């Protein structure tokens, strides 16, 4: 055999951890993996006992490297993609914040080029169909109820690239919008909502399957009114996003949610803004000024969190070292489950023969040593 061999690592596969394992990459795909006697290869990289895990899949990310995805310049969006790729994210949805529909159409059209090139797995619209009562870092003056024509316009702009849309189920026509999105092949997500449990359930029954950053931007959980948190966390049909920067959520809350939802329904996301990979400073998110101090973004003049500076490698490490989950559980939440949610379970999200060679080598401290995307090392 020829190809590129990664050997001597701790491979995390669907069947378990393979110690002193090897993995052969040919033509961008995993052609074989195992332990013991190694196959011949053109190039051998010694992992020296490091963890080898599938490439991370981030379904909620607004930018990075100083660049936001809301720019209409594809070159700027590529900077954000590259920034997260160097930190292990090999599959990424570009998230857009609430803006008028005509502006979103321009932004979607620009990002569609990167989707068609395979650099992005699609576009996520976080708004404008959100609750002003739970707007977070979204301009409340732009928020509105969904209508059939606006939803159709946004979907048409994507030509299949709009993979997920977050909305508040209590808004007028939201349940119909959920059906419209699902019928078009997009994922309907529930977030930035002040809904009661009774208002959430019709949207789930209509096909909503994701809780956008559970706990954040939602009516709080109450023992007599579960609201969206209780309803979504407890429903087996719903996958829950968790921002595992240990700022948005405490380790105890992350652990409680992940343990209740289980491996099949837990997804870690970054909700990263342009500041990810850059640092403190002043940034613009959808026309609102955001100040990043000590790595934490907040709206200027206030305390409301405005996304994060998180990258998926840090989220992975936080889940294990900060919240007490295992490395295989972290793999499920950062790779396997989000890939399946996007309909990519047959191509990425796990280390197995025939899968795309998307992988991350992590040292004993769970820091990134190297990243491979589609069989090529990421610089």
Q: Which residues are catalytic?
A: 271
Residue 81 exposed, middle or buried by CB count within 10 Å (0-12, 13-18, 19+): buried
Q: Are 359 and 51 in contact (CB under 8 A)?
A: no
Question: Are β-strands 16-26 and 4-13 bridged in parallel, bridged antiparallel, or unpaired?
Answer: antiparallel
User: For residues 335 and 346, what is the distance between their CA atoms, to the nearest angstrom?
Assistant: 12
Q: Verify cis geometry, omega within 30 degrees of 0, for the bond prior to 214.
A: no
Residue list for the binding site: 126, 137, 192, 213, 216-217, 224, 248, 305-307
User: For residues 351 and 287, what is the distance between their CA atoms, to the nearest angstrom?
Assistant: 41
Residue list for the binding site for substrate: 137, 216-217, 224, 248, 305-307
User: For residues 203 and 190, what is the distance between their CA atoms, to the nearest angstrom?
Assistant: 8
User: For residues 71 and 106, what is the distance between their CA atoms, to the nearest angstrom?
Assistant: 9
Q: Are 134 and 219 in contact (CB under 8 A)?
A: yes
Residue list for the binding site for Zn(2+): 126, 192, 213
User: For residues 353 and 357, what is the distance between their CA atoms, to the nearest angstrom?
Assistant: 9
Question: Are β-strands 281-285 and 288-293 bridged in parallel, bridged antiparallel, or unpaired?
Answer: antiparallel
User: Which is nearest to 212 in space by CA: 318, 93, 59?
Assistant: 59
Q: Are 340 and 58 in contact (CB under 8 A)?
A: no
């Amino acid at each position: 055999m020829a190809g590129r061999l990664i050997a001597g690592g701790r491979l995390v596969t669907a069947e378990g951890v393979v110690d002193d394992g090897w993995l052969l990459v040919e033509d961008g795909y995993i052609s074989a993996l195992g332990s013991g006697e190694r196959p011949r290869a053109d190039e051998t990289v010694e992992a020296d006992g490091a963890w080898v895990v599938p490439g991370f899949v981030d379904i909620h990310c607004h930018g990075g490297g100083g660049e936001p995805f809301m720019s209409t310049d594809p070159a700027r969006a590529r900077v954000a993609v590259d920034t997260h790729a160097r930190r292990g994210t090999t599959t990424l949805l570009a998230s857009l914040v609430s803006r008028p529909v005509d502006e979103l159409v321009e932004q979607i059209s620009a990002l569609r080029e990167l989707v068609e090139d395979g650099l992005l797995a699609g576009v996520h619209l976080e708004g404008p169909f959100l609750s002003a009562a739970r707007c977070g870092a979204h301009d409340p003056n732009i928020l509105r109820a969904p209508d059939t024509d606006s939803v159709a316009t946004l979907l048409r702009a994507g030509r299949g690239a709009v993979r997920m849309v977050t909305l508040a189920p209590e808004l007028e026509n939201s349940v119909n919008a959920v059906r419209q999105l699902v019928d078009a092949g997009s994922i309907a997500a529930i977030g930035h909502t002040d809904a009661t449990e009774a208002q959430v359930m019709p949207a789930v029954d209509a096909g909503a399957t994701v809780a956008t950053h559970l706990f954040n931007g939602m009516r709080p959980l109450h023992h007599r009114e579960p609201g969206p948190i209780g309803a979504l966390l407890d429903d087996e049909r719903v996958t829950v996003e968790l921002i595992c920067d240990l700022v948005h959520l405490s380790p105890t809350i992350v652990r409680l949610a992940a343990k209740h939802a289980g491996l099949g329904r837990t997804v870690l996301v970054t909700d990263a803004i342009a500041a990810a990979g850059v640092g403190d400073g002043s940034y613009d998110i959808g026309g609102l000024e955001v100040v990043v101090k000590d790595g934490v973004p907040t709206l200027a003049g206030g305390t409301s969190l405005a996304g994060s500076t998180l990258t998926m490698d840090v989220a992975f490490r936080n889940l294990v070292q900060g919240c007490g989950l295992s490395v295989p559980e972290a793999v499920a939440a950062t790779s396997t489950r989000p890939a399946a949610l996007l309909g990519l379970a047959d191509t990425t999200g796990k280390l197995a023969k025939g899968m795309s060679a998307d992988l991350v080598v992590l040292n004993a401290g769970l820091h990134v040593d190297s990243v491979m995307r589609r069989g090529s090392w990421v610089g």
